[in-house]
Amino acid sequence: MSSLETNLAKTPLFDAHVALGGKMVPFAGFEMPVQYKLGALKEYTAVREGEAGIFDITHMGQVRVSGEESLAFLQYVTTNDVSKLAEGQVQYSALLNESGTFIDDITTYKLTDDEYYLCINAANRHKDVLHLQEQAAPFDVDVVDESDDTTLLALQGAAAQAALQPLLDTDLESIGYYKFAQVKVNGVEGIISRTGYTGEDGFEIYIPNAIAVDVWDDLLQNGAVPIGLAARDMLRTEMGYALYGHEISDAVTPVEAKLMWITKLEKGYFIGKEAVEARKAAGPQQRLIAIKLTGRGIPREHYSVSVDGVLSGEITSGMFSPMAGGVALAYVQPEHAEAGDVSVEIRGKQVAAERSKLPFVRSNVRR
């Protein structure tokens, strides 16, 4: 498969992935490695069991918001309370439409009182940027899409700090969970945040494309293991983290998705607020639950979920966890969220399951 044939974009690390034996697949408009020579299970194990895994997530989007009314603008377009951010802090948040359903989930970085940095999902990049730029018209702000100029790496696992520290002058011990620093990476300006999508300690690294290959190679030299999309999704699902197009979409509100904790109704008006308030008052149309199989099988996306023998919903994300067995997130009817016998249809048979708390395995993020 070639980009010429598929019309897919390449990240600056495409050749590095191929050289490492990466199996390239289409993902969010890019050719991305789904796994490398060792396979997804060994990649997953490296991150969970004390090594450092390095992920190319350059397909994600980056947007810079600047200007005197940046705070007012972000309060208007995002669900969380941006006024609570101090410089150097990161916030998980969302963009909603007027119906109160998700345009995207995002992270917001406060650089200064008048400048913020947003990380947005790959498949939603162009939609998000258009939405933000349209909504910015009444505000004294600039909304600039920097995605094409930025490489984003995730370095995750207990050994992440040891692998990254030699590339920096800044002491990584000074960067707490969901905090970041503007630093020089191999002598070039970048952003390092103690964030991730795996449930392990680690960092996300924003750097100019020009140094991407050198930084990638240096991290590999320092012991990092290259990780593909398959292992990343395994790690994400074990934590119960939401993924756009799965647990969140333009069909659900934060009420259904259990994301009211990032939806601050008390902060003042924001896009979608009235619809969310109405849904909260009326009650969710469906509810997101976590389940574990007690019978044999692997729960997969879109498999049907029944409660007391009645079809109730379907799986949004599912997998076989090496640590927890068959685990899944699923939407079910509200009356089935907390009571009744759960089963999943796998190859025409009902396989018994039980409700579970999240995460499915222990989180090791550094709080």
Task: State the pLDDT at residue 7.
Answer: 86
Q: Which domain covers residue 312, as residue numbers?
A: 286-356
Task: State the pLDDT at residue 6.
Answer: 61
313 and 248 in one domain? Answer: no
* Other Cβ atoms within 10 Å of 25 Cβ, number: 16
135 and 40 in one domain? Answer: yes
| Spatial separation of the C-alpha atoms in residues 156 and 279, rounded to whole Å | 37
320 and 250 in one domain? Answer: no
73 and 210 in one domain? Answer: yes
Task: State the pLDDT at residue 5.
Answer: 47
Residue 53 lies in a domain: yes
Q: Supply the CATH number for residue 194's domain.
A: 3.30.1360.120
Residue 364 lies in a domain: no
Q: Mind giving me the DSSP string for 57-79? A: -TTSEEEEEESTTHHHHHHHHBS
DSSP state of 146: -
333 and 235 in one domain? Answer: no
Instruction: Give the DSSP H/E element, type plus range, for residue 150.
Output: strand 150-156
Residue 366 lies in a domain: no
From first to last of the 367 residues of the chain, give the pLDDT tens digit. Answer: 344 446 899 999 999 999 999 999 999 999 999 999 999 999 999 999 999 999 999 999 999 999 999 999 999 999 999 999 999 999 999 999 999 999 999 999 999 999 999 999 999 999 999 999 999 999 999 999 999 999 999 999 999 999 999 999 999 999 999 999 999 999 999 999 999 999 999 999 999 999 999 999 999 999 999 999 999 999 999 999 999 999 999 999 999 999 999 999 999 999 999 999 999 999 999 999 999 999 999 999 999 999 999 999 999 999 999 999 999 999 999 999 999 999 999 999 999 999 999 999 999 999 8
Residue 362 lies in a domain: no
8 and 91 in one domain? Answer: yes
290 and 165 in one domain? Answer: no
293 and 256 in one domain? Answer: no
Q: What angle do CA 40, 207, 92 make, to 5 degrees?
A: 70
| Spatial separation of the C-alpha atoms in residues 117 and 219, rounded to whole Å | 25
Q: Supply the CATH number for residue 347's domain.
A: 2.40.30.110
Domain count of the chain?
Answer: 2
Alpha-carbon distances of 9 from 2, 4, 55, 69, 296, rounded to whole Å: 10, 9, 17, 34, 40
247 and 323 in one domain? Answer: no
Residue 183 lies in a domain: yes
21 and 53 in one domain? Answer: yes
Task: State the pLDDT at residue 367.
Answer: 84
Task: State the pLDDT at residue 1.
Answer: 39
Looking at 221, 252, 284, which one is the last position of a domain? 284
Residue 89 lies in a domain: yes
Looking at 267, 284, 301, which one is the last position of a domain? 284
Residue 365 lies in a domain: no
Instruction: Identify the three-state secondary structure at position 26.
Output: strand
Alpha-carbon distances of 264 from 59, 90, 97, 119, rounded to whole Å: 29, 16, 15, 20
Looking at 238, 259, 284, which one is the last position of a domain? 284
Residue 25 lies in a domain: yes
Q: What are phi and psi of 359, to 5 degrees?
A: -75, 165
Continuous H helices in the chain:
3-6, 14-19, 40-48, 70-77, 125-135, 160-164, 212-221, 229-239, 273-282
151 and 81 in one domain? Answer: yes
172 and 88 in one domain? Answer: yes
